[in-house]
Amino acid sequence: MDKPTLRLMIQDKVADGRLPHHYIPRVGGGLGNGETCDACAEPVTKAQVLMEGLSGNARRGVKFHGACFYVWDATRHVFGYKASGPAD
C-alpha cells in the first residue's frame, strides 16, 4: 500500500475511534506471526516487525506493522496530541 493511501486510512481510523488518538504508554515489538495490523488490515508476517501495545482506559490491544505504527504516531499529532506521556 502506498504511503498517502495508508496515511488517509489511518486518519479516518483515528478520527472515528477505530485507532487511538492518544499516546500508548508501553509498546513492545518483535517479529509478526500472521497478526492483522489494526492500521492497514494486512497480516504482519514473520519477516516483518510487529508493534503491539495497550490502548486507553479499555486496555484494548492494538497491533501495527512497524511502518504503520510510525505513520499512526505521526498522523495522531495532526489531531493535536503530543508524542510523550501525561507528565508533560
Q: For residue 55, give the C-alpha cell.
A: 490502548
Tell whether the torsion through CA atoms of 33, 35, 45 and 18 is positive or negative.
Answer: negative
Residue 63 falls inside a structural domain: yes
Q: For residue 66, give the C-alpha cell.
A: 512497524
Domain that holds residue 50: 3-78
Residue 85 falls inside a structural domain: no
The 8-class DSSP code of residue 16 comes to T
pLDDT along the chain (88 residues), means of 10: 91 90 87 96 97 75 94 82 46
pTM: 0.81
What pLDDT does residue 87 have?
41
| Number of domains forming the structure of the chain | 1
Residue 87 falls inside a structural domain: no
Tell whether the torsion through CA atoms of 22, 52, 31 and 41 is positive or negative.
Answer: negative
* Cβ contacts of 6 within 8 Å, gap of 6 or more: 39, 40, 68, 71
